[in-house]
Amino acid sequence: MAIASDTGVYYDPYDVGINADPYPTYARLRDEAPVYYNETYDFWALSRHADVEKALVNWQTFSSARSDILDIIKAGVELPSGVILFEDPPLHTMHRGLMSRVFTPRRMAELEDQVREFCCRCLDPLVGSGGFDIIAELATVMPMRVIGMLLGIPEDDQTMIRDRSDANLRTEPGKPMDVQEDAVASGDLFTDYIEWRSKHPSDDLMTALLNAEFEDETGTTRTLTRDEVLTYTAVLAGAGNETTGRLIGWLAKVLADHPDQRRDVHADRSLLPRVIDETLRFEPTGPHVARYVAQDAEYYGTTVPEGSAMLLLVGAANRDERRYDEPDRFDIHRDDVQHLTFGYGLHYCLGANLARLEGRVALDELLNRFPEWDYDRDSMRLAPTSTVRGWEELRLVVP
């Protein structure tokens, strides 16, 4: 089985041209090089749904302990303790259990009225405007506001927190991320907030993290150290902003491209959850996740050696014709809208329900005010990052 250069297929997560429309490349990878090796950046990639799904649950072979971001794995930096995204069992099991206690379905459901109120405040002034940038006016501000409410970050400081968190994920077009060891999941900018919360408890996640008791890996029952609380807070702030904002942008873009389906959901709001998940399948906000190969792995007659970096191409898996009927067709009425965008197995995204809630409410309120829209193709711009995929600018044109 061919793996790379002898087939002529080339995949590069930093390539701006490929990133603009990765799906033809994904299709070639699935067909011609389902296990692929990139010599330039020294990583492997899996693209078929069955392979990606199995790899996501096989933590013994595909470890998260050195990060789930290719650039960080390749940089070989020392990672802070307590980042559940960068852990395997048993540490991951312990820390995820702790996080699950503060990320409860009840707490998420209680947010809906506040999310809707903030959406209305963003969108109401835009009625009659003729057009607006959905990214600037809603997609970058609403997720920041929601995670700020959850964490207890003052409203005046939320923009600064978002910008600092997002900056750590940015890459120059065509280049890998410049990984700074002290910036990976750094909670330094939250020190003052957490110190304040330790003396003034409230009903927010910072307070919950400060007070939660758990049994650590030594069998000791304790609370989190201050450094651990800082790390957890940094992870929540970063994960809660970037991907949810990209989802809102994709909802606007994809439904403009499929006006008949937009009209269907406008008329029948029970379709909203299907729209969210079909959009996540069709245009995943995170096109890939990385793993460190902890032991040799065999694929299609090729050995991926221990010590390698592996990209699991979620965006390719979500469009695999071996798994979905007509996968390149956006269809909110399809029977099977399952996808791998939120992961699978033990690292399934803890914030998935929150992201779905934000996307659903944002689209609901957008449709309430703007049943029809298109977008300005001349000004639209993809964000300059390889870790997530979405719009930096997307100006909607409304009647």
pLDDT per residue, tens digit, the chain (399 aa), is 445 546 689 999 999 999 999 999 999 999 999 999 999 999 999 999 999 999 999 999 999 999 899 998 998 887 776 677 788 888 888 878 877 776 777 777 788 998 999 999 999 999 999 999 999 999 988 888 888 888 777 777 766 666 665 555 555 666 666 665 544 555 677 888 888 888 888 888 888 888 888 887 788 888 888 888 887 777 777 666 678 899 999 999 999 999 999 999 999 999 999 999 999 999 999 999 999 999 999 999 999 999 999 999 999 999 999 999 999 999 999 988 899 999 999 889 888 888 999 999 999 999 999 999 999 999 999 987 778 899 999 999 998
Burial 88-105 (b: 16+ CB within 10 A, else e): beebbeebbebbeebbee
- Asked if residue 36 is part of any domain, the answer here is yes
Tell me how crowded residue 175 is: count the other CB atoms within 10 A of its CB: 11
Is the bond into 90 cis (omega within 30 degrees of 0)?
yes
- Asked if residue 4 is part of any domain, the answer here is no
**Domains: count for the chain:** 1
Which amino acid is present at 359? G
Residue 290's DSSP bridge partners are: 311
What residue numbers bound the domain in which 192 lies? 16-397
Q: Which of 285, 51, 81, 243 is nearest to 147 (CA)?
A: 243
DSSP state letter for 181? G
Which stretch of DSSP H or E encloses residue 109? helix 105-110
Q: Which of 38, 44, 30 is nearest to 12 (CA)?
A: 38
- The pLDDT assigned to 2 comes to 44
Q: Which of 273, 265, 240, 283 is nearest to 108 (CA)?
A: 240
Cβ atoms of residues 47 and 55 within 8 Å: no
- The pLDDT assigned to 86 comes to 83
| Residue whose tokens read 């790390």 | 231
- The pLDDT assigned to 286 comes to 92
- Asked if residue 264 is part of any domain, the answer here is yes
Cβ atoms of residues 179 and 77 within 8 Å: yes
- The pLDDT assigned to 327 comes to 97
- The pLDDT assigned to 1 comes to 42
pTM: 0.90
Instruction: Indicate which CATH number applies to the domain containing 166.
Output: 1.10.630.10
* Helices 142-151, 158-167: inter-axial angle, 10-degree rounding: 110
Please state whether 96 falls in left (phi above 0), alpha (psi between -120 and 50) or beta.
alpha
- Asked if residue 256 is part of any domain, the answer here is yes
